[in-house]
Structure 1
Amino acid sequence: MLTFEQKQAIIESYPELTRKDVSMKRVNYHYEDSLYDKTVVVQHLHPNGNGFVYVAGIVGYDADERGLVNIREASEEELRKTIADSIAALSQGEAEAQAVEQHWANAAGEKLVLMEELGAWNLYHGLNLEDSFGDYAEAVAYLKEEQFKQVQGDSK
């Protein structure tokens, strides 16, 4: 787990973010150029390492009801990606959103592809539709229950 200071250094490497101290030694980081009313990218970064990044509506994240994802256990790479995705989402309109395709595999070597299509999350085995889900979190929960893990950088 990254320390508070390491997380702070990573977050402060984004010059477009503005630091604002809040209660109980916590720190928020705002993206003032946001196209939306929401400007907080990092919320309640605490000296114990806990904190949140705003990812509401960003495909690929299992956000809570407030649109936040916890970064307590995030690696440097994960934290950088999450912050960059948050800034990108707050700086572009919905029309610029990109389609998502994720590759998943299990220990037996079986591969599935999760794709967002017309508001649904479809799971494919080759060209065959295996299942369809109403939201990303439901699809990921199913994949994890079936012992699949996301494969990074897989090109089919």
Structure 2
Amino acid sequence: MLTFEQKQQIIESYSELERKDISLKRVNYHLPTSLYEKTLVVEKLHPNGNGYVFVGDLLAYESMADERHLVNIREFSEKQLRDILADVIAYLTEEDEPVLPLHETWSNREGDVLTVRFDGHDYGVYHGENVEEIFGKYETAKSYLLEEGFRLKTKHA
């Protein structure tokens, strides 16, 4: 397990993050360049080595995150800590994919029809008005449809 000081050194190697001391000798790190309201990346890093990283909707960390989308980094190695920080910084600072197309129709050989719609944050795959799947990236939704035997039929703006 990394010490508090080692974790601080790793976190502070990311120039995008700003340190803010809080109570009980704990430290928060914010990302002022976040494209979202959420700027707090590392929460309550404690001298005992405990702390949390906000991961939002990043699927890679879904099984590790609590209901507030935080991952406990107490037992993280240097590589794990660097990976999660890089992923979160990219997640919070990269522009969303192009909004268009907002709506696509896909069909398979059996005549089933699914639609893909972008809601401003996620790509939903729908069967009629029922949600089939939700994806964070268009490419993931597209891969899913192709694997299921669907092909793009029409694009709508």
Shorter-normalised TM-score: what interval?
A: 0.5 to 0.7
Q: TM-score, normalised by structure 1?
A: 0.61
Aligned to 1:64: 66
Q: How much does 1:89 deviate?
A: 0.6
Runs of 4+ in 1 over 4 A off after TM superposition: none
Equivalent residues in 2 for 1:7-156 (5 A)?
7-61=7-61, 62-95=64-97, 118-119=133-134
Q: Distance in 2 between matches of 1:95 and 1:65?
A: 26
Q: Structure 2 regions of 5+ residues with no counterpart?
A: 99-124, 126-132, 136-146, 149-157
Q: How much does 1:21 deviate?
A: 0.4
Secondary structure of 1:11's aligned partner? helix
Structure 2 residue identity aligned to 1:81? D
Q: TM-score, normalised by structure 2?
A: 0.61
The structure that has the greater radius of gyration is 2
Q: Structure 1 regions of 5+ residues with no counterpart?
A: 97-116, 121-127, 130-156
Q: How much does 1:94 deviate?
A: 4.1
Identity rate, percent? 60
Q: Distance in 1 between matches of 2:80 and 2:134?
A: 26
CA RMSD of aligned residues (A): 2.1
For these two proteins, the number of residue pairs brought into alignment is 103
